[in-house]
Amino acid sequence: ILNVEQSPQSLHVQEGDSTNFTCSFPSSNFYALHWYRWETAKSPEALFVMTLNGDEKKKGRISATLNTKEGYSYLYIKGSQPEDSATYLCAFPSGGSNYKLTFGKGTLLTVNP
């Protein structure tokens, strides 16, 4: 069973604050790491697929980094806005050609106006 851990479990920040949270995963047999954003009552939305050690990807005010040697990825949000409030999930694929995802429990971000 793969162990994918996310911390913190929840986070409250003020509008305008920058924030970050962590996903840790098995460092052996690394293949890729996925980040998703999940707003209440909506579908999880794909943010990034991280594949190479040292990768940094950016989408607007959200960016992610990857360290495959030590088994962690950080997600950063710069200048948080209330619309960033969501649960952020990371997922680690396995299972060969079926590419099955093992998810962390997520970080629930609340941005207060």
Partner 1 sequence: GAVVSQHPSRVICKSGTSVKIECRSLDFQATTMFWYRQFPKQSLMLMATSNEGSKATYEQGVEKDKFLINHASLTLSTLTVTSAHPEDSSFYICSARDVGLAGGHYEQYFGPGTRLTVT
Amino acid of residue 94: S
Query: In the window 38-57, what residues touch partner 1 (CB under 8 A)?
Result: 41-46, 49, 51
State the minimum distance, in angstroms, from the CB of residue 14 to partner 1.
25
Among 24, 30, 106, 107, binds partner 1 (CB under 8 A): 106
Binding range to partner 1, per CB under 8 A, among 21-29, 53-61, 77-85, 98-106: 98-106
Q: For partner 1, which stretch binds (CB under 8 A), given 22-30, 61-69, 77-85, 97-105?
A: 97-105
Alpha-carbon distance 51 to 105, whole Å? 21
CB atoms near residue 52 (< 10 Å): 10
**Distance (Å, whole) CA 61 – CA 20:** 12
Distance (Å, whole) CA 86 – CA 81: 11
**Does residue 59 interact with partner 1 by CB under 8 A?**
no
CA–CA distance, 59 with 71 (Å, rounded to integer):
22
Of 5-24, binders to partner 1 (CB under 8 A) are: none
